[in-house]
Amino acid sequence: NISQELPVIRQLDDAAINRIAAGEVVERPASAVKELVENAIDAGSRRIEIAYGDGGKTLIRITDDGCGITEEQLPLALSRHATSKIDGSDLLDIHTFGFRGEALPSLGAVGRLSITSRVGKASAAQISVEGGAMSAVKPAALSGGTIVELRDLFYATPARLKFMRSDRAEAQAITDVVKRLAMAEPFVGFTLRDVTGGGEGRVTFRVEAENGDLFDALHGRLARILGKEFAENALKIDAEREGLRLIGYAALPTYSRGSSVAQYLFVNGRPVKDKLLVGALRGAYFDYLSRDRHPAAALFIDCDPHLVDVNVHPAKSEVRFRDPGLARGLIVSSLRHALAEAGHRASTTVAG
Ligand code: ADP
Ligand code: MG
């Protein structure tokens, strides 16, 4: 029909672009918490406090003691595709959680966001953004580090708001995210606080920074998060093959579970849900567990960033290994080795 109006192609404005990006990066309060805590970790923080109100729907506040953001850089932190973490020349050389420069502008498009920060002895400053409009930078009071406050998440996108679950369910998802990140950062202290209704609120989870060497620290942290029983039944894993290092703790087959809830996998510090790695874990226990039992483990693969592509998905829980067979083989063989040794130790003990 010739009389029909021709479609007109228009350039979207920044606010619309940020809202669309937010749809991918920020699904629910827990995803906002993940982005903000990852930023705090990237900033070298030793202590991170996370406060939330009403399941994170009305308030998410992350307080860290990291490097901070200078007054001049505050507007840039809120700008799209602005990041201090990569220069864009080598997308395979990523050593930080962040690199897209998308989280803060996205959060600023779907909630009321403010950042207060202080670098060293310079004076503290604050910037805020609401409905995509950035405020001027104002002087503020803060002894150091950064406070990011996100209020009324999704107030600007009512469709999203409708998809949120109960405060309880959202708080649970926040807790899961924080615990996962805390497992991978044993030398960082984390406090999670429910401040629904205002005031100091109630601490719902706290772990102090661990001491000792990496394995001591990791074992201590896992004991605090997964429980003493896991820690007592856990075999230490420490293996390396062709540039891939695997460390962590895997539980004895007798400590298996009825579901895969107790499987925690990390690649270069990132919590991942990766079919290949889950399959490898299952394969390692194949001879020890019946089909309906699932091993419990917290495993960390670390490698040169060039050996794994973390650029697969904005939520970044998938990864792609350059050599998937190598990753799988490393997990299967080192876990089998540890299980066989433990079995051998157990049988020789019984034999006297
Ligand atoms: P990305 O993490 O991908 O770089 P973000 O939008 O999450 O993008 O953050 C933009 C920039 O703001 C970061 O690159 C970093 O320089 C700065 N930034 C964000 N959060 C913090 C923080 N808690 N402490 C110090 N700097 C931060
Ligand atoms: Mg980030």
pLDDT value of position 86: 80
Q: pLDDT band for position 22 (50/70/90)?
A: confident
Query: Atom of ligand 1 at shortest distance to CA of 66?
Result: 24
Least confident of 36-50, 87-101, 159-173, 271-285: 87-101
Q: How many CB atoms lie within 10 A of CB 182?
A: 23
Average pLDDT, the chain: 91
Q: How many whole angstroms from 157 Cα to the centroid of ligand 1?
A: 24
Question: Which has the closest alpha carbon to 315: 100, 157, 166, 114?
Answer: 100
Q: Among the listed ranges 1-15, 101-115, 277-291, which one has the minimum average pLDDT value?
A: 1-15
Ligand 1 center to 39 CA (angstroms)? 5
Domain ranges of the chain: 14-207, 228-351
pLDDT surpasses 90 at 253: yes
| Ligand 1 environment, Cβ below 6 A | 35, 39-40, 43, 64, 66-69, 77, 83-85, 98-104, 146
The whole-number average pLDDT for the span 103-112 is 91
Structure tokens at 14: 């920044």
Q: What is the mean pLDDT of residues 216-224?
A: 97
Domain 228-351 part of CATH 2.40.50.140? no
Positions of E strands within the chain = 47-53, 59-64, 112-118, 125-130, 133-134, 138-139, 145-151, 189-194, 202-207, 234-241, 244-251, 263-267, 270-272, 297-303, 308-309, 320-321
Percentage of residues in the chain with pLDDT exceeding 70?
96
Q: Residue 350: is its pLDDT beyond 90?
A: no
Q: Which atom of ligand 1 is nearest to the CA of 103?
A: 6
Mean pLDDT of the region 9-18 = 86
Q: Which CATH superfamily is 14-207 part of? A: Histidine kinase-like ATPase, C-terminal domain (3.30.565.10)
Give counts: helices (H), strands (E), the chain.
10, 16
CA atoms within 13 A on the CB side of 251: 26
Q: Is the pLDDT of residue 347 over 90?
A: no
**pLDDT of 24 higher than 90:** no
Say yes or no to pLDDT of 90 above 80: no
Which tokens go with 221?
A: 């942290």
pLDDT, residue 5, reads: 87
Most confident range, picked from 93-97, 270-274, 301-305:
301-305
pLDDT the model gives residue 160: 82
Asked if pLDDT for residue 163 goes beyond 50, the answer is yes
Average pLDDT over residues 252-265: 91
Measured in angstroms, how far is the CA atom of residue 159 from the centroid of ligand 1? 27
Of 39, 45, 149, best ligand 1 pocket probe by most atoms within 8 Å of the beta carbon: 39
Q: Model ipTM?
A: 0.99
Q: Please say if the pLDDT value at position 28 is more than 70.
A: yes
How remote is the CA of residue 171 from the centroid of ligand 1, in Å?
24
What pairing do the DSSP bridges indicate for beta strands 320-321 and 270-272?
unpaired
Average pLDDT over residues 64-84: 93
- Which residue's C-alpha comes closest to atom 25 of ligand 1? 68
Of the listed ranges 38-52, 112-126, 304-318, the one predicted with least confidence: 304-318
Ligand 2 centroid to residue 97 C-alpha, Å? 7
